[in-house]
Amino acid sequence: MPVRSLSIPICLFLGNTILSAAADTHTDSRLHTHAAPKPLAPNAVTAPWPRFLGPADNATTPETPLVTELPEDGPTPVWEVEKGEGYASPAIDGGHLVLFHRMEGLEIVECRHPETGKLFWKFDYTVDYRDRYGYSNGPRAGPILQDNRVYTCGVTNRLHCLDLSTGKVLWERDLAREFNAPQNFFGAGASPLLLGEKLVVSVGAEKATVLACDPATGRTLWTVEDAWGASYASPVATTLHGKARLLVYAGGESKPAHGGLLLIDPETGTVEDRFPWRADKYESVNASTPVAIDDRHVYISECYQKGGVMLHVDGEMKFEAAWKAPDFGMHWMTPIHADGYLYGFRGRNEPDAFLACYHAGTGEEQWRETLTWKQEIDGRSFGWGFFRGSLLRTGDNLWICLGELGTLALLEMSPQGVTVVDRVDLFRARSTWTTPALHRGLLYVSQNEPGIGDNTPRRLLCYDLRK
C-alpha cells in the first residue's frame, strides 16, 4: 500500500465525509501532541497492523527492536486524541491510522497520520443503538485496511467500504435491514475478515449467519444459513490439511443458548463441520477468537461454564476434542500460541481472572498467576491488577501486557513461569479491553472510559517504544 502524502488538501464535503488534513493541531481541538518519536533503528523490523489482532490475526508481530524497560513515569507519549464510545482497536498501515468510534450519536471513521495524529479525513453517519446492559454504545469491531480501502462494521451491522486516501464511500450495506439480523446482547461485535477476494462478515441472521461479499463492490458471493447466530469472536482464516479454511466461532442470543465452531470452505461457503461449545446459560457469549495451532488443531474457549477445548481436525475436515481445559476459558482476549504453549488471561470477572500457561499438545496447565497488587488512590488503598488483560507478543519474544484498568507491563514468559519486568499505570480507567496495536515501534492504547479519580476523557494514546 503506498504511503500517503502529507500535503494539505482543500477542505471539502462529500456526503458525511470531511476531507481534511488539519494544517495544525489548533484546527483539531481533540488532538494533543507531546513529543516526536525517536528515529527507527537501522535494523528495525516493522509490520503493518491492518486489523485488530495484527498482521497474522493472532496478536503477534515481528516488530523489533523495542524498549526492554519502562521509565518510572511511563513510556514517552507521542500524541493522543479524545475519542468517543466503543471498544474498536485502530488499524495502521501505509502512513494511515484509522480510528472507529461513536460521538454525539454518530459512528465516526477517521483517518490520521500514525506518527503525528494529524487528521486526513473523517466520515460519520447516524447510529441508533443503546446497550441494554449499560456498556458502551459504540462500535466493537475494528476497521480493516487493505488495497487502499477501509472496511468497517458498526454496532448495528452497518458495513462500509471507504477509500483510504479520501474517505469517499465506495459502497455500503445495512446488513441488519437486509437480513433482519438481531441486535443480540451487545450489538454487532465481530470484526470482518479479508480472505483472498472475499470480505467475510459474521452477520448472525437466520438467512446469513456468515456473509462473504466482493471487497471491491460489496456484492454477495455466498451466505451461510445456520441456527447459531453471530458471536463476538472474529472469523479466522487458516490452512487445514493443506486447504484454505475459514473458522467462525458462532453463538448469538438464543433460548436455550447454543453456538460453537463452524468450519467453512471459503470458496463455496459450505459448512464442513460444526462443534457445539457454548455455556447453557442464556446470558452468555462466545467472544474469544479461535486460535489455529497448526494444520490440524484449533483452540476455542468461553468463560461462562465450559472453558476451553483443543479440537483435532481430521482429513475429512471433521472435529473431535483432543483435550478440554475447564479452567482455561477466555472472556474476550485471544490466547497466544508460542512454541507449543498457550498463554492467556482467563476468567469471567475481575476477581476470578488470572494469567496461565497450558501445553498445547496435552492440555496440561504449566502455571497460573493472579498478578495483583495494592494501589493508592486519593489516600485509599485498592486491590489492583491486570485482571482480564490483553497480551501482545513481539519479534524479540517480548510480551506487552495491558491490564483492564490501564496498567502497561513488559513481561517475560515461558513454560517455567512469568516475570513482570516493568509496569506502569498509563491511566486508571475501567473497560480497558481493547487489544493495543503496535506499528513501527509505536504502541497505540485505547482508554475506553473516563479516568478514575481524574476524569480524563476517553482517548487513543500513542507511545514511543522504539529502542
Task: Report the side by side order of strands in the sheet with 399-402.
Answer: 390-393, 399-402, 407-414, 417-425
Predicted local confidence at residue 377, as pLDDT: 84
Q: pTM for the full model?
A: 0.94
Res 9: pLDDT:
28
H/E/C letters for each residue in the chain? CCCCCCCCCCCEEECCEEECCCCCHHHCCCEEECCCCCCCCCCCECCCECCCCCCCCCCECCCECECCCCCCCCCEEEEEEECCECCCCCEEECCEEEEEEEECCEEEEEEECCCCCCEEEEEEEECCCCCCCCCCCCCCCCCEEECCEEEEECCCCEEEEEECCCCCEEEEEEHHHHHCCCCCCCCCCCCCEEECCEEEEEEEECCEEEEEECCCCCCEEEEECCCCCCCCCCCEEEEECCEEEEEEEECCCCCCCCCEEEEECCCCCCEEEEEECCCCCCCCCCCCCCEEEECCEEEEEECCCCEEEEEEECCCCCEEEEEEECCCCCCCCCCEEECCEEEEEECCCHHHCEEEEEECCCCCEEEEECCEEEEEECCEEEEEECCCCEEEECCCCCEEEECCCCEEEEEEEECCEEEEEEEEECCCCCCCCCCCEEECCEEEEEECCCCCCCCCCCEEEEEECEC
pLDDT averaged over consecutive 10-residue blocks of the chain (467 residues)?
27 49 63 97 97 96 96 96 98 97 98 98 98 97 97 98 98 98 96 96 96 98 97 97 98 96 98 98 97 98 98 98 98 97 97 97 98 90 96 94 98 98 97 98 98 96 98
Encode pLDDT of 114-160 as tens digits: 999 999 999 999 999 999 999 999 999 999 999 999 999 999 999 99
pLDDT at 378: 84
Residue ranges of domains in the chain, CATH in brackets: 12-464 (2.140.10.10)
| Residue 18: per-residue pLDDT | 60
